[in-house]
Amino acid sequence: MNESAMHTTNPNPALIGLVFLAALFAQGCAVVAEKTPDPLVGKILDMGSGKQMAWDELVARAKRAKVIYLGEKHDNPEHHKNQLRLLAALVEAGKQPTLGFEVFDLGQTSYLMRYSQPKEKKTSHAAGSAFNAENWLLKQIDWQEEGDNWQFYGPLLKSARMHRLPTFGADLSRALRARITAVGYEGLTNVEKRLSYPSGFDDAAYAQMMKQTFKASHCGWGSDAYLGRLYDNWVARNDAMAMAIDEMLGQYPDQPVVMILGAGHTRHDRGVVEQVARKRPQLEQLNIGLREVMPEAVDVSAYLEPGSYAGKPVPKAFDVLWLTQRANDKQDPCEKFLRHKKKAR
């Protein structure tokens, strides 16, 4: 998800909500922190047993799964390096994964497929100038090569092109996400509803947990109505991503799907993981959470605490936890949020 790229002269609460959901559901708001020499950096934990896993064990589990989620913090470079490393291991093992991205919407899938499935060399209309696939893709998706997005996702896309991996965008369009945040799902026109993929998911405890999380990410701000619209947006996005994964599994049944998305969308095997499981109950899924270590070094047990919401126990946060260095973010997200909120008044 990349709503942070949305800037307007007169920000409104709907857009502000999208901006800060982006920061949150990579894995919570970024915090002001320097890198720490934490001994757990780089460790891979089986959250079921609580034991550390070797790299070969992780690859073996990924090879057995039909969907592998790599839940990231969007702006942490280490998360993207780890994603690329696991993707390379699967390809080396003879897999031809289908690669899905939350950061792209469903309508951008055709651009991604044209990029990752080259049929022949092309030349531009300008005499003597060679066709540059990366420049073409960046233009279509409205990204800048020097920008952070390409820095983070470009290597994954280049790998997909090199190995001719099917690729797809999985999220709703930016415009539809903004509309849901502004008016709620029921406020959409029938045409707009046709562009979504509602599953009928309804879980009051999950809704309560997510609304509490949204409010925390908004630095304690948010009316009940506004938080409800954010939740509508969240569920609609989970439904769309689950639909896309299910369709790609149907298209390429002999190969796994590797899904690159914010870790919040798969926490506790809820969200996207749960919706895919409802569609394919016997499917083996592997939920890997790429998580920054805590600001201060702690015992590994602190990462293995059982979760609960509304008094209801939930599974461990992920099947596997892959701990990484913290991103060096100097900006206080609450300061940025409150500045946007003040302008929106």
Nearest to 288 by CA among 302, 276, 273: 273
CA max distance for the chain: 67
Q: Find all residues with CB under 8 Å of 207, minimum gap 6, and list them.
A: 231
Chosen CATH of 3-118+131-344 out of 1.10.1740.10, 3.40.50.11550, 2.60.40.10, 1.10.3720.10: 3.40.50.11550
Strand partners, 98: 257
Q: What percent of the chain has pLDDT over 70?
A: 80
For 101, phi then psi, to 5°, come to -130, 130
Locate the domains of the chain by residue range. Answer: 3-118+131-344
Is the distance from CB of 263 to CB of 290 less than 8 angstroms? yes
Instruction: State the pLDDT confidence band at 344, using cuts at 50, 70 and 90.
Output: low
Is the distance from CB of 219 to CB of 334 less than 8 angstroms? yes
d(CA 272, CA 102): 11
> For position 330, what pLDDT does the model report?
61
Instruction: State the pLDDT confidence band at 16, using cuts at 50, 70 and 90.
Output: very low
Mind listing the pLDDT tens digit for each residue in 48-99?
999 999 999 999 999 999 999 999 999 999 999 999 999 999 999 999 999 9
Going 201 to 207 to 213 to 219, the CA torsion angle's sign is positive
Q: Kindly tell me if the per-residue pLDDT of 147 is higher than 80.
A: no
Mind listing the pLDDT tens digit for each residue in 109-142?
999 999 999 986 554 444 444 579 999 999 999 9
> For position 169, what pLDDT does the model report?
98
Q: What percent of the chain has pLDDT over 90?
A: 72
